């Protein structure tokens, strides 16, 4: 089992590189980057170099904006993604409740068994 609390410090001391995660970019930052690509005539590669982020990140933002604006239909919009995330979480809770009720029913059925 890996101790995730100490993973960063111990692994770095052993010479293994652990990539750090970047904080999420603000929605305003994303919108401005999308605007610069669409209206400023800049490529995602140029903009990524200027902003210090990955080219694929800019491309993903452009794709998601196109989906949200109806320019594309080969993926989920942001609203659909949020709804899907919510429904999956609700489904997970319902499954846990169902499993708990199954166990409770089996427990009480065992206690009220007239044969024993």
Q: Which CATH number characterizes residue 48's domain?
A: 1.10.10.10
65 and 93 in a single domain? The answer is no
- Structural domain contains residue 33: yes
- Structural domain contains residue 3: no
- Structural domain contains residue 31: yes
- Structural domain contains residue 4: no
68 and 109 in a single domain? The answer is no
57 and 90 in a single domain? The answer is no
Token pair of 109 as six digits: 């059925």
82 and 51 in a single domain? The answer is no
Which of helix, strand or coil describes residue 114? coil
44 touches 58 (CB < 8 A): yes
pLDDT in tens, 27-61: 999 999 999 999 988 999 999 999 989 999 999 99
Instruction: Give 24's DSSP letter.
Output: P
pLDDT in tens, 53-74: 999 999 999 999 999 999 999 9
Model pTM greater than 0.85?
A: no
Token pair of 21 as six digits: 């995660």
Q: How many domains does the chain have?
A: 2
- Structural domain contains residue 16: no
Give the ranges where the chain is alpha helix by DSSP (H): 7-13, 27-39, 44-51, 55-69, 78-111
Predicted confidence (pLDDT) at residue 113 exceeds the cutoff of 70: no
The residue segments making up the domain with residue 58 are: 21-75
CA–CA separation, 2 vs 81, rounded Å? 32
């Amino acid at each position: 089992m890996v101790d995730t609390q100490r993973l960063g410090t111990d692994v770095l001391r052993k010479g293994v590189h652990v990539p750090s995660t970047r904080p999420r970019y603000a929605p305003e930052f994303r919108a401005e980057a999308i605007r610069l690509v669409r209206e400023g005539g800049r490529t995602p590669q140029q903009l990524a170099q200027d902003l210090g982020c990955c080219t694929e990140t800019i491309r993903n933002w452009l794709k998601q904006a196109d989906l949200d604006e109806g320019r594309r239909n080969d993926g989920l919009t942001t609203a659909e993604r949020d709804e899907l995330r919510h429904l999956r979480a609700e489904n997970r809770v319902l499954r846990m409740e169902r499993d708990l009720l199954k166990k409770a029913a089996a427990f009480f059925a065992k206690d009220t068994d007239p044969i024993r």
